[in-house]
């Protein structure tokens, strides 16, 4: 049985700006995802990493004032807005260096119907869910984590997972439920978990 989640990651971040463990987890959670999301921009890897650090610094500064509006995807859209503004600021302050990246390209990249922003919407929750599961593996436990890995990382069905792990379909379903419930509580206000 998984422990009851006493604090969500967001609550841990808001509890104290000095909570370096929570901020480290947040940084480890979002840096790879932002790197993947911004890969299509014509930036050198070092510049992209600088941009990501700028984005995360702004999130750090603004998170204490963040209010989730209760709508699906509110946090990822808030993060996207910060990322877009910081991309504009980053390129404006380095205009000579980024002459090939014009305002039209940035606007097209961040347009809600652009392929990049559709990918942003489609991949955010799955990335956060997987990364938090790996971060919280000790809390989830080996038995339930093995089920999570088969179902959500390897993409196996419940029946395939049961056969692979030598468990019943009911046992796998219960493990799946426990992991999803734990992660839903832990990632509350960051993601929208279905089923």
Domain boundaries, the chain: 9-186
Q: What is the pLDDT of residue 192?
A: 61
SS3 132: helix
| Predicted pLDDT at 151 | 93
Q: Which residues contact 189 (CB under 8 A, 6 or more apart)?
A: 8, 10, 68, 74, 75
Q: What is the pLDDT of residues 51-62, one digit of tens each?
A: 999 999 999 889
- What pLDDT does 195 receive? 45
pLDDT tens by residue, 132-151: 888 888 889 999 999 999 99
Percent of the chain with pLDDT over 90: 30
Summarize pLDDT for 84-121 with one digit per residue, the tens. Answer: 999 988 888 876 666 666 777 888 888 888 898 888 88
Q: Alpha helix (H) ranges present in the chain? A: 9-15, 20-37, 45-62, 74-93, 103-110, 115-135, 137-140, 142-148, 158-165, 169-186
């Amino acid at each position: 049985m998984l422990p009851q989640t006493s604090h969500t990651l967001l609550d841990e971040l808001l509890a104290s700006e000095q909570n370096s463990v929570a901020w480290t987890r947040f940084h480890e959670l979002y840096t790879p995802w932002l790197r993947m999301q911004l890969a299509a921009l014509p930036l050198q890897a070092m510049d992209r990493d600088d941009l990501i650090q700028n984005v995360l610094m702004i999130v750090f500064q603004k998170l204490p004032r963040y209010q989730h509006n209760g709508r699906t995807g509110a946090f990822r859209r808030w993060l996207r807005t910060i990322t877009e503004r910081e991309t504009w600021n980053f390129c404006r302050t380095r205009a000579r260096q980024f002459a090939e990246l014009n305002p039209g390209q940035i606007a097209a990249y961040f347009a809600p119907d652009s392929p990049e922003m559709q990918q942003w919407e489609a991949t955010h929750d799955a990335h956060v869910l997987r990364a938090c599961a790996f971060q919280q593996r000790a809390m989830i436990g080996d038995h339930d984590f093995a089920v999570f890995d088969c179902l959500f990382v390897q993409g196996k069905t419940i029946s395939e997972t049961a056969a692979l792990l030598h468990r019943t379909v009911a046992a796998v379903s219960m493990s799946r439920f426990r992991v999803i419930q734990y992660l839903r509580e832990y990632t509350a206000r960051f993601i929208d978990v279905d089923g």
